[in-house]
């Protein structure tokens, strides 16, 4: 608490807009680079602090508001099954374009330029394919069963064991993904507020997201997602992009500083496109956060419309906004705007820190608070959704299958589970360093474990629970081991392909083999 109090006191000291220092230093004919050095030692203004605190308190207020309106597990996990397509659609895109795709996408723009936007093009494809092929089949199941989680599909189409393992795989994946969002917020906060180290930022970010999610449930998540996404869009369109563009000297500054390859949207290899596609497109079919929103929709038409809305905002809208700001940050580094902060060369800077450092440098008092709130909005909207997903997996798919939990106590158990998993995510966030790596690793683990069994459950005429179970374990384990080996540089992937490709391929092979070799316990026949 003392650390937090000191942090708040420090942040309350005044800071002058960057334009003030530029004018002052120019008058004295000093080196402009001193501008940044002076700026770095001046803390964020009281105005910015107030704006940011109001935002955090507002999010907590929403959580407490819906706490009083959550009467049962339907309200907590699926929003009473009455949400509109606009709220659902904006919530989906806000969840998908969170810390990984705001800070992480900015890092891609910093590293490779405009070609990084193709990562979210795979999101558009995934959203529309899911709307066309997945949602109609899911609603057929909803008409027969009252579903709350994604693994419950396996319960009704395979058996309890398959559903239990699917819940474990999904829960682990979403804990990792929640941690990635908390880490993204922490990176942004620590780069913005010089007195705040990364672990302190993790604590502040994590506690805020966990508290309002614990109390508010899915309704709080969806409504805050809508507000958070609108705030992000406004911040990018009216603050971040215009001021960033001006600070680096506009188009002339960009073209004279950067290698032309950074402005070439085709400057990307087929391997990278395939790696993104094989990881991101399938998440639209196995993502627990997305199934919660399907279940929360009023009807099939509402859900499909929401998915089409989400796809359009994924690409090109959010994709190009994210990479542009990352590209601006690279230009700023190469122009020497960050020399006074210790970033005198590209190699001195973490690619994911370029964007927040640039915003901290160029934004005047007041606008800084608004822009930071906008970016925190994107991050929080994903963190809360992933935490809800992990909580649903733990309570509905795991604990309720092991322990005799009375229905009237499910809501209380769910809130306690959300709090416990939030604490685990906080700890994990302190142990990781790269947002995009953690996010994509979590994605890969879930996709390689769950994709093949899901496709078999929904689209194969005959189903084999044993084959599904073995394929699930094999796919997820293979990808996780390959990811660890790749990270430790013990193994090089052929052609630079993602480990997820090999995990999914092996999962499919195993499913086919076991379908042929193992009898279906329901009818005693081999499945073909």
pLDDT band at residue 288 using 50, 70 and 90 as cut-offs: confident
pTM: 0.79
CA distance 154 to 204: 37
CA distances for 103 relative to 100, 192, 203, angstroms: 6, 13, 18
User: Would you call 83 helix, strand, or coil by DSSP?
Assistant: strand
Mean pLDDT of 348-364: 80
Quick check: 447 and 279 in contact, CB under 8 A?
yes
- Position 47 scores a pLDDT of 75
| Average pLDDT taken over every residue of the chain | 80
Share of the chain above pLDDT 90, in %: 31
pLDDT band at residue 1 using 50, 70 and 90 as cut-offs: very low
pLDDT band at residue 133 using 50, 70 and 90 as cut-offs: very high
- Position 362 scores a pLDDT of 84
Q: pLDDT digits over 300-319, tens only? A: 999 999 999 889 888 888 88
Quick check: 158 and 468 in contact, CB under 8 A?
yes
Quick check: 181 and 101 in contact, CB under 8 A?
no
- Position 98 scores a pLDDT of 62
Cβ atoms < 10 Å from Cβ of 237: 13
Peptide bond into 201 cis (omega under 30): no
Task: Write down how long the chain is.
Answer: 528
Q: pLDDT digits over 74-106, tens only? A: 766 666 677 778 878 887 887 776 655 566 788
CA distance 159 to 144: 16
Assigned CATH for 59-435: 1.20.1730.10
pLDDT band at residue 182 using 50, 70 and 90 as cut-offs: confident
CA distance 35 to 337: 9
Structure tokens at 270: 């087929």
Largest CA distance in the chain: 89
Q: Measure the N-to-C terminal CA separation of the chain; round to a whole number of Å.
A: 62
- Position 7 scores a pLDDT of 33
Structure tokens at 136: 């109609």
Domain residue ranges of the chain, discontinuous segments joined by +: 59-435, 460-528
Residue 161 has pLDDT above 80, yes or no: yes
Peptide bond into 316 cis (omega under 30): yes
CA distance 385 to 103: 18
- Position 389 scores a pLDDT of 85
Q: pLDDT digits over 10-45, tens only? A: 333 333 344 443 443 344 333 444 344 444 334 456
Return the bridge partners of 83, or none: 297
Say which DSSP state 397 is in: I
HEC string of 210-252?
Answer: HHHHHHHHHHHHHHHHHHHHHHHHHHHHHHHHHHHHHHCCHHH
- Angle at the Cα of 197 (from 196 to 202), degrees rounded to 5? 95
Cβ atoms < 10 Å from Cβ of 64: 13
Tell the residue number behind the tokens 């955090």, with chain if given: 56
Mean pLDDT of 261-280: 92
Angle between helices 118-129 and 319-334 (to 10 degrees): 170
- Position 438 scores a pLDDT of 75
């Amino acid at each position: 608490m003392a650390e937090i109090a000191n942090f708040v006191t420090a942040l309350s000291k005044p800071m002058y807009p960057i334009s003030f220092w530029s004018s002052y230093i120019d008058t004295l004919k000093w080196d402009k680079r001193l501008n940044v050095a002076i700026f770095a030692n001046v803390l964020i203004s009281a105005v910015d602090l107030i704006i940011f605190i109001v935002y955090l308190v507002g999010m907590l207020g929403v959580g407490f508001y819906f706490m009083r309106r959550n009467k049962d597990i339907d309200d907590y996990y699926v929003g009473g099954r009455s949400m509109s397509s606009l709220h659902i659609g904006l919530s989906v895109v806000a969840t998908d374009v969170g810390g990984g795709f705001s800070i992480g996408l900015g890092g891609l723009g910093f590293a490779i330029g405009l070609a990084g936007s193709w990562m979210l093009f795979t999101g558009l494809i995934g959203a529309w394919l899911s709307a066309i092929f997945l949602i109609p089949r899911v609603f057929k199941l909803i008409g027969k069963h009252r579903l709350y989680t994604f693994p419950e599909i396996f319960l009704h189409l395979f058996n309890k064991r398959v559903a239990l393992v699917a819940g474990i795989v999904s829960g682990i994946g979403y804990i990792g993904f929640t941690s990635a969002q908390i880490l993204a917020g922490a990176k942004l906060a620590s780069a913005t507020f010089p007195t705040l180290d990364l672990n302190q930022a993790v604590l502040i970010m994590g506690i805020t997201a966990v508290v309002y999610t614990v109390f508010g449930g899915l309704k709080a998540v969806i409504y805050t997602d809508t507000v958070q996404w609108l705030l992000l869009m406004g911040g990018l369109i009216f603050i971040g992009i215009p001021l960033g563009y001006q600070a680096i000297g506009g188009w002339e500054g960009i073209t004279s500083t950067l290698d032309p390859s950074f402005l070439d949207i085709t400057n990307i290899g087929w391997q990278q496109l395939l790696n993104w596609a094989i990881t991101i497109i399938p998440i639209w079919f196995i993502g627990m956060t997305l199934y919660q929103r399907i279940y929360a929709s009023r009807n099939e038409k509402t859900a499909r419309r929401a998915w089409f809305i989400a796809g359009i905002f994924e690409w090109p809208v959010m994709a190009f906004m994210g990479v542009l700001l990352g590209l601006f940050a690279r230009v700023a580094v190469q122009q020497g705007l960050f020399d006074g902060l210790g970033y005198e060369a590209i190699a001195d800077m973490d690619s994911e820190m370029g964007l927040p450092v640039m915003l901290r440098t160029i934004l005047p008092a007041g606008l800084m608070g608004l822009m930071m709130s906008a970016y925190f909005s994107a991050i929080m909207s994903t963190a809360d959704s992933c935490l809800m997903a992990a909580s649903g997996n733990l309570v509905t798919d795991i604990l309720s299958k092991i322990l005799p939990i009375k229905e009237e106590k499910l809501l209380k158990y769910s809130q306690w589970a959300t709090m416990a998993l939030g604490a685990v995510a906080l700890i994990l966030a302190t142990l990781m360093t790269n947002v995009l790596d953690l996010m994509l690793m979590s994605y890969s683990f879930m996709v390689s474990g769950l994709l093949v069994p899901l496709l078999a459950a929904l689209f194969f005429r005959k189903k084999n629970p044993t084959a599904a179970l073995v394929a699930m374990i094999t796919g997820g384990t293979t990808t996780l081991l390959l990811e660890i080996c790749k990270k430790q540089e013990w193994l090089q992937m052929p052609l630079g392909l993602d480990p997820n490709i090999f995990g999914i391929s092996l999962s499919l092979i195993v499913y086919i083999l076991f379908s042929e070799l193992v009898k279906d316990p329901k009818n005693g026949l081999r499945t073909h």
